[in-house]
Structure 1
Amino acid sequence: MNAPLSLTTPAVSVDIAGVNLSYGTNHVLKDVNLAIEPGEFFAFLGPSGCGKTTLLRLIAGFNQADTGHVRIGGRDITDLPPWKRDVGMVFQSYALWPHMTVRRNVAFGLEERGVKRAEVERRVETALGLVGLAHLADRRPSQLSGGQQQRVAVARTVAIEPKVLLLDEPLSNLDAKMRVQVRRELRDLQQRLGLTTIFVTHDQEEANTICDRIAVMNDGIVQQVGTPMELYERPANLFVAGFLGTANILKGRIVGSGAERYFEIDGGTRFPIPEDDRIPDGAALVFRPQHATLTDQAGPQDGALSLPCIIANREFLGASIRYGARIGATEVAIDVPFQSGKYLFEIGSSGWLKLWPRSLHWLSV
């Protein structure tokens, strides 16, 4: 078995402070501040055009900030060229040399850096062993699957012993089954190396399953930073709530006060608000599909709020049934665990939606 690839330095932090970047009049990154811990698997997550890849390329040195600083291990690298930053980047396209063997592709970056032949051979052998491709070292990229090509790109980057590993949508060219396998391999490799890794993706499932923390981005702004569970259970705003999984959003207005305070949604349906709930002005009520249930029994139960609804649609998802329930003019999704023989609500039938206050979020619109 190959010896573990030895990194030249311990895991390092990455700090981004006050970064702004514009292309002409287009303000792409807006006062970005992030502190990434040593050895952390961190994600930049957001929709296309949110600035996540621009930020990754800025860390790599391919983009230059208008203001702000980037530090790796406490060292300011803001003005350094890419080859002096001690970072390694895996591109979305993999960028492999088609005429070179796997071995030569992995060795290329080391040879360009003037590493001695014996050390090049050691690092190439170890890197290929880490990604499970030692037996394919003499093949060319065209003779490999998409997942194998992605592993070659990772091995080539790891072989140069970077302080920080940057991954730019590395799974986007793989089919769904291969993505699941390769993301697990990436996580396992990162854990074994203890290497600070930053992962860019628009796929929240990918970020949730392999990353320690996530920065959710939109319109060049970091909306919220936290663990996958923190972001899912305590979203900071409506964008985060809607981007991370399915979220039901009920918009309306608060009427009354004190013990007679109600939330009235479009269509006139209203329900009481617990007195101790602090609700910002203009708030919307947010809850997840699994945090509600359906019943044919009217009235509150076990402290739950009770709202009349009409079943608009129904989908069988295997482990659960997803109902679309109309409350007033708003339709919400409700996931009910599937049990063979259990009563199913028919489309067009009436029911009662039960909501528990502890599972509700009040977020500013």
Structure 2
Amino acid sequence: MNVATSRAVAIDISGVNLSYGATRVLKNIDLSIRPGELFAFLGPSGCGKTTLLRLIAGFAQAETGQVRLDGQDVAALPPWKRDVGMVFQSYALWPHMTVARNVAFGLEERRLPRREIDRKVAEALALVGLADYADRRPAQLSGGQQQRVAVARTIAIEPKVLLLDEPLSNLDARMRVGVRRELRALQQRLGLTTIFVTHDQEEANTICDRIAVMEAGTIRQVGTPMELYERPDNLFVAGFLGSANVLDGARSGDVFEVVGGPRLRLPPGLHLPAGAKLVFRPQHAVLADAGIFRGPVTQREFLGATVRYGVRVGDTEILVDVPFQSGQDLHDIGKLVGVDLPIERALFLAT
């Protein structure tokens, strides 16, 4: 196909606000997506991520702001003139049509010559590994194969931008792993700027270049999966991407006093935001005979590579992940243990 990295375009969104009646769904959205990126909108249900995707596609209209594709403001353009391809969560396949006819649908709407339609359909099906399924109907395919048909139908029109709305949500857990790898490989071959909407942090972390974490119609932080996990800007991002221990406390001079717990000496010059809480990941804490925290083991979970312990400290339970080694002794429920935390692993975050 002619889709290539040279066609990859930037997407720039600035000052976007959108409401449905009295409900503000998107609030002051500013975002830049680089050419050729696989970018994710990640957040809980109702946070506005699908609405933002539909805004880019042209199925929703902002009250204020601009959406620019490759530098062109497309706010006044209908969906079919934006050169954007969208794969819907339901796949939206025609059950009475063959796979080939489903893939050809968008091309036929554009009134291309029959020979060109047949060529593009064959190329698209070959790209998604379904060349031998052209004569089947959707009901004769697995969920993963139906998803690939929906992708083939979209890339057949050679869009500048590919939009994927929760494309893996209808698949079982095992199938999702394989299909998301296929999507990443296909996106890299095509070089298309692609936006992936999901509420599943694992999906976003494993295949996306960068992620915008959304909450209640706002973007809380943008970064690579590692940046968001290691250096979250706020409590919401820290809690949404992986497990995090969050402890109340307050600064007193050069120490942070944890409520009902220890005093942590702060590095010189460290700025703490107002209302900051102590935040750290379970794998950054260490079980020790004489730790800064101390309490009984309340739970123990074997996770394969690690053992996760819950330790009761005052009114709070701290999670600690310990690497598992065959033959090692495990701590029993109720055993009194210490928990240490290197100060360089401590985060102090507010809402």
TM-score (norm: length of structure 2): 0.97
CA contact (8 A) 2:43 2:213 kept: yes
Shift of 1:275: 3.4
Alpha-carbon RMSD across the aligned residues, in angstroms, is: 1.2
SS in 2 for 1:69: strand
- List aligned pairs for 1:1-365, cutoff 5 A: 5-7=1-3, 10-255=7-252, 257=253, 261-296=254-289, 298=290, 306-365=292-351
SS at the partner of 1:62? coil
Q: State the AA in 1 paired with 2:13.
A: I
Counterpart secondary structure, 1:332: strand
Unaligned runs of 5+ in 1: 300-305
For the 8 Å contact 2:261–2:293, the answer to whether it is kept is no
1:308 to partner: Cα distance: 1.8
CA deviations on 1:42-71 (whole Å, 9 max, x unpaired) are 000000000000000000100000000100
User: Percent of pairs identical after alignment?
Assistant: 69
Please give the secondary structure, in 2, of the residue aligned with 1:93. coil
Contact 1:267–1:328 (8 Å) recurs in 2: yes
Aligned residues, how many? 350
Structure 1, 142-151 or 337-346: larger mean CA deviation: 337-346
- Distance, in Å, in 2 between the alignment partners of 1:189 and 1:319 is 31
Following superposition, the deviation at residue 328 of structure 1 comes to 1.8
For 1:354, the aligned partner's letter is D
Deviation at 1:307, TM superposition (A): 2.0
Residues 172-217 of structure 1 show CA distances to partners (whole Å, capped at 9, x for unaligned) of 0000010000000000000000000000000000000000000000
Question: Using the alignment, how far apart are the partners of 1:6 and 1:139 within structure 2?
Answer: 26
Query: What is the alpha-carbon distance in structure 1 between the residues aligned to residue 268 and residue 77 of structure 2?
Result: 56
- The Cα offsets for residues 228-267 of structure 1, whole Å up to 9 and x where unpaired, read as 0000000010000000011111111223x2xxx3322232
Q: Which runs of 4+ in 1 moved over 6 A?
A: none
Letter of the aligned partner of 2:271 in structure 1?
R
Segments of structure 2 that go 5 or more residues without pairing to the other structure are none
Following the alignment from structure 2 to structure 1, what is the Cα–Cα distance between the partners of residues 274 and 54?
39
Aligned-partner Cα distance in 2 for 1:51–1:118: 41
Normalization by structure 1: what TM-score?
A: 0.94
Which residue of structure 2 lines up, in the alignment, with residue 302 of structure 1?
none
